[in-house]
Amino acid sequence: MRVLLVVLAATCSVASLTAQQRAISDSDLFAFRWVASPQISPDGRHAAYVLVTVNAKHDGYETSLWLVGTDGASTPRRLTAGPKDGAPRWSPDGTTLAFLRPKDGHSQLYLLPLTGGEAQQLTDLPKGASPAAWSPDGKMIAFTSTTTAEDLAKKDKKDKGDESKSDVRVVTQAEFRGDDEGYFDPAEHTHIWTVPAGMPGDEPAKARQVTSGEFDENAPQWSHDDARIYFVSDRVRESYYYPPDNNFYSVPAAGGSASLDTVVDINGPVFGPAVASDGKTVAFRGWVNPRAVRSYNQSDLFVSRDDRARNLTADYDFDMGGSVLGDQAPPRGGEGSSPNIWTADGKAVIVTTTEHGRSNLVRFDVQTGAREPLTTGDHAVLAYTATPDARRFALTIGDPTHLPDVYALDAQTKRLTQLTHVNDSLFAKLQLVTPEDFWCTSFDGKKIETWIMKPVGFTSGKKYPLILNIHGGPHTAYGYIFFHEMQWMAAKGYVVVYPNPRGSTTYGQRDPPRLRGFDQAGRDGRLGRRAAHRLGRGPHAPLRRRGVAAGRGRLAGLLVYGGLHAVPALVVPLHAVPRSRGVSRPLARALRRLGHHTSDVHPG
């Protein structure tokens, strides 16, 4: 009897909670909070991160730095007021955070002592600075900047107003502007600088330029003995005419005229290179360019030593790194990152992989390539950092019903501990939908992974309208990550179907074929018809009301690359099904590529 009463009480409690919840709305976006750039302290006891919020006027984002203990019992503590602070980086002794803060229109490096005191400005370059890379001894910081000698001369003269720059642009290169970047300046290059890491006092410290020339250098990191600085660079003029082929180099930390050393050089790109403790072995992600051009190349994990690179994942046909598509990545404060992490003994490398829309941390044995998952589940690992011994991680994880939060991972026990709950109070009020996964058979028998979100308050036997939502790219992937757009459609009473058609990533190199115009559109159309018809036989998707929505690369992308006649190829095979067709997010960028000036609507 007592057990029965407990069950009834629990049932009533759940029913009461559901009754108090409401469907998600578009205005809930203003109350969302995002975490980014998780940085674990060298001793593994704390994690710093960036918290992103929408400002009071709802026209921009604010970012601030926070600190939380990794024991799971601590309350997060705010470190800075913001409103535009980001990119925290721990000093090797764990006493100081270097971070970025805007000053006069450019981000500068600041140092924040964690023992107490205000943040102090470290750099003051006319073109700003990138996130900090601390030297192992904690005495220097490396960073990148596009500042030139001319910029410094103007700054020293304090005569900026007398020399107005002409607004006439002479275009001599095929690629002359980019999304979110505007026009490129062919004379502007990203180079490596260093600055002393001591607290600067009343005046910023004097930074020194280490590299120069006509090529960009990125992602600086120090050698273990502080003597050299490694970086990634593509040292080919107008390299967009050729297959990607950047390399890993090093230069003396002191700068000077010494020639740079090539550390890793393969016929392909090098991503996230990490030097092992022996100072000779390098782990990196990338690929060897194939003879025949492919529309997508899947990254593998390589280990290089003595000018010989070995592919550890040749028999593992999935994506290296986190690559799941959602619409709630942190809008400021740093993108997702997938660094390659060496274990202390140099016997394994830890990195994220993405399989079938799920991103997880995996440990790869350097000798055999054997893999061991450190995290598992229907979620996406977005970003992470590790302690020097790779035993403790701070990472951000999200899933279809939760925006990402900060977690701590013990790599030995594989125990995950949630450290933040930044959206719990809001999401407790919302009735969110957990998507259902199923595999749809396409026209040629190929199985296509698909997700379905039923409407909020779904009642079996009741008829509902359906929206087929096709992602753009096409080389990206839906998966186990929060998607406000899908939740909002389900809240409005729609059955939402979102597939990963052929061409999607996270299913292996053999899955993304060489997609061309009509072929891409026709395959998508047939898949959409089969998925919609399958659902149409169920109790919640009547044939009389269907809609198709598509992102850039699936519908609008075909307008550009396949011609106007390619659009019917996507939609016409569905002629018996849809009553409405829509394009979400893409046309502004598609038309911009054709020379039309448009702007995406996005706050901040």
DSSP string covering 312-381: TTTT--SEES-----S-S-SSS-------EE-TTSSEEEEEEEETTEEEEEEEETTT--EEESS-SSSEE
Question: Alpha-carbon distance 277 to 494, whole Å?
Answer: 54
Name the pTM for this structure.
0.86
Q: Which of 400, 355, 360 is closest to 377 using CA atoms?
A: 360
Three-class secondary structure of residue 22 per DSSP: strand
Pick the closest to residue 361 from 388, 387, 382, 347 (CA basis). 382
Residues 216/232, Cβ–Cβ less than 8 Å = no
State what percent of residues in the chain have pLDDT above 70.
78
- For position 182, what pLDDT does the model report? 85
Residue-wise pLDDT for 119-147, tens only, equals: 999 999 999 999 999 999 999 999 999 99
Whether residue 418 contacts residue 72, with contact meaning beta carbons closer than 8 Å, is answered with yes
Distance, in Å, from the CA atom of 46 to the CA atom of 94, rounded to the nearest integer, reads 9
Distance CA(583)–CA(550), nearest Å, equals 5
pLDDT at 163: 60
Burial of 359 (0-12, 13-18, 19+ CB in 10 A): buried
H or E element that contains 526: helix 517-536
pLDDT of residue 152: 85
For 482, 559, 576, the CA distances from 327, given in Å and listed in that order, are: 7, 23, 30
The residues of the chain scoring below 50 in pLDDT are 1-14, 514-518, 520-522, 525, 539-544, 553-579, 586-604
* Angle value at C-alpha 136, between 303 and 363, nearest 5 degrees: 35
- DSSP helix/strand/coil, 479: coil
Predicted pLDDT at 214: 92
The single-letter code of the amino acid at 141 is: I
How far from the centroid of its chain's Cα atoms is residue 513's Cα? 24
pLDDT at residue 520, as a whole number? 47
| Token output for 535 | 């659902």
Strand ranges (DSSP E) for 126-269? 133-134, 140-145, 177-178, 182-183, 191-196, 208-209, 218-222, 228-233, 247-252, 261-264
Whether the bond between 568 and the residue before it is cis, its omega within 30 degrees of 0, is: no
Tokens for 160, please give them.
Answer: 């900026």
Phi, psi of 78 (to 5 degrees): -75, 135
CATH class of 431-593: alpha beta
Q: Name the residue ranges covered by the structural domains of the chain.
A: 431-593
